[in-house]
Amino acid sequence: VFEVSDLTKVLLGPASIELGKRLAETLGAESVPVESKSFPDSESYVRISGDVSGENVVIAQSTYPPQDRHLVQLLQLLDTARDLEASKLVAVVPYLAYSRQDKRFRSGEAVTVKTVVKLVEAAGADSLTTVDVHSDKILELFKIKALNVSAMSAIGEYFSSLRLREPYVFAPDAGALDRAKIVAEQLDAEYAFFQKQRDRTTGAIKTEAKDVRVKDRDTIIVDDIISTGSTIANAASILRRQGARSIYVACTHPLLLPGAKEKIIAAGANEIIGTDCVASDVSRVSVASIIAESLRKIL
Ligand code: R5P
């Protein structure tokens, strides 16, 4: 039987160097560095600086922005490891790019996540693990084994280590309620969600300001992705107006596009915390042990 201890090498994809190292440490595997650069015309170059022949290899490479570059690097690493006669190839892609393009809303639109799945499989992955993917349904597109795990228990653990006063956990929209629930249960806290609406044409977001009992309490807003920051900023300003003592913001994927952090802080949040699914200066929570654990299920 194949076991996690048979995974002997972790390739440190350029988008997930720190996570890859933590994962290698957790698995007791060897880290294999990857050299990467862009050619003057901006084509991607990667080189695996280590021996993978006959090894069972984990390729850690997230595909957060710039998605296309990170995606091509992932494909290059998979295909090269195959060429170099690696045995098993386990793709760890904590942020799966294009997973929000999973439906044809208007005729003629590309369902790009479908293309991504085909490419990852064609490049040689035997299995794939991702984290807090936009919709679980995407996993059904894979012919190889594919698994989605949640970072929320690691986020819950982070907040358990802070001494919060009567914490109250919020989902900034109905879709995030299950995530908020996981964090809240870990803290033995109350939880609730806000109603959010997005204008399909302009992308503008409106959040309904319901009354919540947050006066002088520490609050946490959790979501899967922070992109422009508008979703979280709306929720934070509601909590601020209702007298929350503090507002922590946490997410799995801190994409944090330019201006997002400033928008969230201006809305009244005290701190933004993300995981290492996306390498960023707020990535204080690691998903390495959650991923290592998930690999047991996927082998
Ligand atoms: C949407 O359904 C997601 O869960 C996030 O709430 C959303 O992607 C966040 O985007 P933004 O930061 O641009 O509001």
pLDDT of residue 235: 98
pLDDT of residue 3: 85
Burial of 212: CB neighbours in 10 Å, binned 0-12, 13-18, 19+: middle
pLDDT of residue 297: 81
Whether 32 shows a pLDDT value over 90: the answer reads yes
Q: Provide mean pLDDT across the span 163-174.
A: 95
Among the listed residues 81, 94, 141, the one whose alpha carbon sits nearest the alpha carbon of residue 114: 141
| Residue positions annotated with a catalytic role | 196
* Per-residue pLDDT tens digits for 41-66: 999 999 999 999 999 999 999 999 99
pLDDT of residue 240: 97
Ligand 1-lining residues (CB < 6 angstroms): 172-173, 175-176, 205, 223-231
Whether 76 shows a pLDDT value over 90: the answer reads yes
Which of 96, 223, 256 to probe ligand 1 with, by most ligand atoms within 8 A of CB? 223
pLDDT of residue 81: 98
Whether 299 shows a pLDDT value over 80: the answer reads no
Among the listed residues 115, 138, 212, the one whose alpha carbon sits nearest the alpha carbon of residue 172: 212
Q: Provide mean pLDDT across the span 97-123.
A: 96
Whether 275 shows a pLDDT value over 80: the answer reads yes
pLDDT of residue 44: 98
Burial of 254: CB neighbours in 10 Å, binned 0-12, 13-18, 19+: buried
